[in-house]
Structure 1
Amino acid sequence: MATNPRDQRLTSGVAQAIKESLESNDGYFHLKNRGIVISAKSCTYNNKTKEVTINFTDDMLHGNIDGGHTYKIVCDHRNDNLDQYVQFEVMTGVEDIIEKLAEARNTSVQVDEKSMAELKQKFDPIKEGLEGMSFYQRIAFKQNQQAFDDNTNKKLKMIDAREVVSIVNMFNIDKFDSVTHPIKAYSSKANMLDMYLKDPEYYRKYVNIMPDIFDLYDAIETEFADAFNNTGGRYGRKKYAGYKDGKVIGTSKFGLQKIKYKIPDGLIYPAVAAFRSLVVYNSNTDKYEWKNGVNPIYVWDKCKENMTVQIMNFATAIGDNPNAVGKDSNIWNLAYMTVLLQQGTN
């Protein structure tokens, strides 16, 4: 269950509906239920014994991606003599996209929660902080929200509000410090949304630095690969880089700047969160601000080569798996200390 992005709450309305559907014993459970999605190293079928063998080799990459509630409820009823079936979908070769896959598959409860939050105007503090940003109209605060380009009338690529909330929460100095890092911002957007919804008004304290946070994110995404290459690294050789002989392969997430390399979130998030060490609270304004008025991008410019080398060396050491990097507290700590030490040299 380590691959499943959220804990299973069997008292929730969703869980109760699954339980009632299973206990109805109508023979249609496999049609009414989304089933269970498994990531595995391999999956084989023996024609003679009529048995399927599913092989797991890494607990963080192989296991239940979606259907955790279904799995636990079915297990609780396996001795109840029910004439029901459940669908199993086994995926192999998805290790490199396991986090994105899990997040995409686990959307129903989270999206509904997000939409209800928007209906209750819970995102107003985020809107206050980001309303003037170029990407503001692309933030999807509710399910199926769309935006169109004013000139071409083409659909714009939307940004899930849960991701915006997660990035802001990486600068929550009341919850996270030099020892406790916001790893959940990467591994569980639902967890970060829950944290936000407990006290949305608290986040008005961040409205002054929110624009800088996302400008910083864009700077790191667009400059990460070049910073590493400037030290003698070869980022383009990484299989997740998407490099195509210097051609533009896409745009950055927030600034929509042209990029030649893909930088996985597992590498970006620890780097961005490291600048939390620059945040201080001003009791006079009841707002958070940057320590000594420093621009975080200025500090990034000073330490980006050192930071990218450390992150990439760490990634190489653990098998060039960005997903594993994003979940490892060691790299979050290392990046944080890099920014902290840089402050002392300015």
Structure 2
Amino acid sequence: MSDRVVQVAAKWSRRMQDPNFPGAETHFMLVPASELPDGLPLNANPREPQINRPVYRTVSRSLRQDDDSIPGSFHLKHRGLTLVASAVKKSRELHPAGLDVFELHFADDGMYGIVDGGHSYEIVQEANKSNAIPKNAFIKLEVMTGLDTESLVTEIAGGRNTSMQVQDKSLADLEGKFQFLKDELEVDGWVERVAWHEGDDGDIDVVDVIAAISCFDIESHPDRSSHPVDAYRRKKSMLDRFRSDPHRYHRLTPVIRDILQLHDWIAYDSENRWQEIGGVSGSGGKYGHLDMVEKVKEGRSGFEFPFLPDMRSQKRLRRPATFPILASFRLLLVQDKTAESVGRYRPVMWRNDFDEVMELWEAAGGQLLRTFYEHWDTTGRDLHAAGRSPALWGSVYKELAVIDAERRGAI
């Protein structure tokens, strides 16, 4: 019986002997994702890869760095591939980039191959076809050898594929916590655009929806003394807060659709606001080259905006800039003292109406963008650090407050 041999080039590798099974070893490798080869068998994986789901599209964007991930961080966030091989041998072949080359041997009896990570493998292969993987993207391989019983391989495959905990958002959906959000988004036909649980179709993850809404938590952040920075830097914590204190979010129901529309409009319309103020140099013609702006890659369709139906753009403002600007508009949110309380909270309303919010964005958007840019430019030019900076969020809020006061003749 002949082996299938697949060569893998690794940046780093280590080998560990198993303490319980004599002769069994685990080989750990860190492999450039762009070097991950074709031909790794999926015989041992109990699931047929189906990568057209929101969770896998998110992984693909992270791999390609089409999102706001910190460059080069893919291998730190992703658990990689687990394989069972009949042997691993170091090759004498030299790789052009100075990487170590290993031969992975897979006996042709259906027992060997990828036991966990088949979806990830398909995502990497798909990205490699279009040369879309950055050179700093790595993926972890865990290759087990010396496992001579089919039942043990079956247990490993089953255990690896059922060990992932049910995602918190899936539990929240099962508990009915999202129902008031679904009811509200159904008004505009937006409910199908949201992925409410793991494996759900949708253009935007419900966790991102909750993060955007969290920017308007005027209970915790009523003024310029503190800001909802965690909505950007720790959005998972916003889901935790949502599950533990849903009334805090339920009280925002009257303005939820407005918030989501404003979020998408800021991301879409920022180019117009930037051009209107002449950018930084005065010409305003370099918006598409700014770090805070994401451009559609060549050969791909334009960005969609889930809460701006039928609108597309070749550019959009990135989340580190969008979120502090979005959060500054909580300035126009007030308690509705005539409405019935939701738990221990009063529902909210706009100071006047949503038209005033949109008018203020049109008047102030350019200056808010410039405030973000100047902070980024003078504090190390790190986009993600700027998005996580309470000082930056405070500067944007104060700038909006001044412009709003001037427009109302208050100063």
What band does the TM-score fall into relative to the shorter chain?
0.5 to 0.7
SS for the counterpart of 1:289 is strand
SS for the counterpart of 2:254 is coil
Q: Do the aligned partners of 2:364 and 2:403 also contact (CA within 8 Å) in 1?
A: yes
TM-score under structure 1 normalisation?
A: 0.64
Q: Which residue of 2 aligns with 1:259?
A: 313
Q: Do the aligned partners of 2:193 and 2:306 also contact (CA within 8 Å) in 1?
A: no
Change (3 A) 1:37 1:163: farther
**C-alpha distance in 2 between matches for 1:342 and 1:258:** 30
SS for the counterpart of 2:348 is strand
Deviations 1:154-188 (A, max 9, x none): xxx52111111111111011112322211111112
Deviations 1:283-307 (A, max 9, x none): 2203200113353112111111111
Note if 1:242 corresponds to 2:287. Answer: no
Deviations 1:274-328 (A, max 9, x none): 1111111112203200113353112111111111111122223334432222111
Note if 1:335 corresponds to 2:396. Answer: yes
Q: Which residue of 2 aligns with 1:278?
A: 332
Q: Do the aligned partners of 2:71 and 2:136 also contact (CA within 8 Å) in 1?
A: no
Change (3 A) 1:306 1:278: same
SS for the counterpart of 1:208 is helix
| 1:1-346 correspondence to structure 2 within 5 Å | 25-26=19-20, 65-66=76-77, 93=136, 112-146=167-201, 157-177=202-222, 178-233=224-279, 234-238=286-290, 240-242=293-295, 249-256=302-309, 257-285=311-339, 286=341, 287-293=347-353, 295-345=356-406, 346=408
Gaps of 5+ in 1: 1-23, 39-59, 69-90, 95-107, 147-156
Q: Do the aligned partners of 1:220 and 1:272 also contact (CA within 8 Å) in 2?
A: yes
SS for the counterpart of 1:145 is coil
Change (3 A) 1:315 1:116: same
Which is helix-richer, 1 or 2?
Answer: 1
Q: Do the aligned partners of 1:266 and 1:322 also contact (CA within 8 Å) in 2?
A: yes
Gaps of 5+ in 2: 1-17, 32-69, 80-133, 138-163, 280-285, 342-346
**C-alpha distance in 2 between matches for 1:212 and 1:30:** 53
**C-alpha distance in 1 between matches for 2:25 and 2:322:** 41
**C-alpha distance in 2 between matches for 1:255 and 1:322:** 26
Of all paired residues, the percent bearing the same amino acid is 21
Alpha-carbon distance, 1:132 to partner: 1.6
Tell me which structure has the larger Cα radius of gyration: 2
Q: Do the aligned partners of 2:295 and 2:315 also contact (CA within 8 Å) in 1?
A: yes
Q: What's the RMSD between the two structures over aligned residues? A: 3.4
Change (3 A) 1:335 1:238: same
Which is strand-richer, 1 or 2?
Answer: 2
Change (3 A) 1:221 1:62: closer
Q: How many residues align?
A: 254
Alpha-carbon distance, 1:248 to partner: 6.9
